[in-house]
Structure 1
Amino acid sequence: MCRMIGFISKKSYDISPYIDFLKNQAMHGKGAPHPDGWGMSCYDQNDLLIKKSSDPIWKNDVMSVKASAVLIHARKASFGKANLLFSHPFVFDKKGKIWSFAHNGTIYNLSGKKEKDEIDTQFYAKRFIENLKQDPVRSIENTIRELIEISENKFTSMNALILNGETLLGIRYVKEDEDDYHTLFYFEEDDRISISTEPLDSRWVPLKSGEFVMVTANSKVEFVKGTIKV
Structure 2
Amino acid sequence: MCQLLGMNCATPTDVTFSFTGFAARGGVTDHHSDGFGVAFFEDKACRLFIDNQSAGTSPVADLIKRYPIKSKNVISHIRKATQGTVLLENCHPFMRELWGRHWIFAHNGDLHGFAPFLSGVYQPVGDTDSELAFCALMQGLRKRFPGSQPPLNELGHALADITRDITLHGVFNFLLCNGQALFAHCSTRLYYIVRQWPFSKAHLIDADLSIDFAQVTTPDDRVAVIATAPLTDNETWTQFAPGELIMFEDGRPTMTWSVPIPPEVQAKNAANTACT
Could you say which residue in structure 1 is the equivalent of 2:6?
6
Q: CA deviation at 1:164?
A: 1.3
Q: Does 1:216 align with 2:249?
A: yes
Q: Deviations over 1:55-78 (max 9, x none)?
A: 001112124122221000001001
SS of the aligned residue for 1:22 comes to helix
Could you say which residue in structure 2 is the equivalent of 1:225?
256
94, 101, 106: which is aligned to 2:105?
101
Could you say which residue in structure 2 is the equivalent of 1:166?
180
157, 166, 182: which is aligned to 1:147?
166
Q: Distance in 2 between matches of 1:142 and 1:53?
A: 32
126, 137, 145: which is aligned to 2:156?
137
Q: Give the gaps of 5 or more residues in structure 2.
A: 119-123, 197-221, 262-276
The answer as to whether partners of 1:12 and 1:44 remain within 8 angstroms in 2 is: no
Give matches, 1:35-46, under 5 Å: 35-45=33-43
TM-score by length of 2: 0.69
Q: CA deviation at 1:47?
A: 5.6
The answer as to whether partners of 1:11 and 1:68 remain within 8 angstroms in 2 is: yes
After the TM superposition, which of the residue ranges 41-50 and 89-98 deviates more from structure 2? Answer: 41-50
Q: CA deviation at 1:130?
A: 1.2
Q: CA deviation at 1:27?
A: 3.5
C-alpha spacing 1:214/1:102, structure 2 compared with 1 (3 Å): same
Could you say which residue in structure 2 is the equivalent of 1:127?
136
Q: CA deviation at 1:46?
A: 6.4
Q: What is the one-letter code of the residue matched to 1:88?
A: H
Q: Which structure has the higher relative contact order (CA within 8 Å, separation 6+)?
A: 2
Q: CA deviation at 1:107?
A: 0.4
Q: What is the one-letter code of the residue matched to 1:170?
A: A
Could you say which residue in structure 1 is the equivalent of 2:63?
62
Work out the percentage of aligned pairs sharing the same amino acid.
21
Rg (Cα) greater in structure: 2
Q: Does 1:110 align with 2:114?
A: yes
Q: CA deviation at 1:90?
A: 0.9
Q: CA deviation at 1:166?
A: 1.3
Q: Distance in 1 between matches of 2:55 and 2:175?
A: 18
C-alpha spacing 1:125/1:74, structure 2 compared with 1 (3 Å): same
194, 216, 236: which is aligned to 1:203?
236
Q: Deviations over 1:33-66 (max 9, x none)?
A: 0011111110134662111101001112124122
Q: Distance in 1 between matches of 2:55 and 2:127?
A: 22
C-alpha spacing 1:116/1:86, structure 2 compared with 1 (3 Å): closer
Give the length in aligned residue pairs. Answer: 213
Q: CA deviation at 1:25?
A: 3.0
C-alpha spacing 1:116/1:129, structure 2 compared with 1 (3 Å): closer
The answer as to whether partners of 1:8 and 1:194 remain within 8 angstroms in 2 is: yes
Could you say which residue in structure 2 is the equivalent of 1:179?
none
Q: What is the one-letter code of the residue matched to 1:207?
A: F
TM-score by length of 1: 0.82
Q: Give the gaps of 5 or more residues in structure 1.
A: 175-182
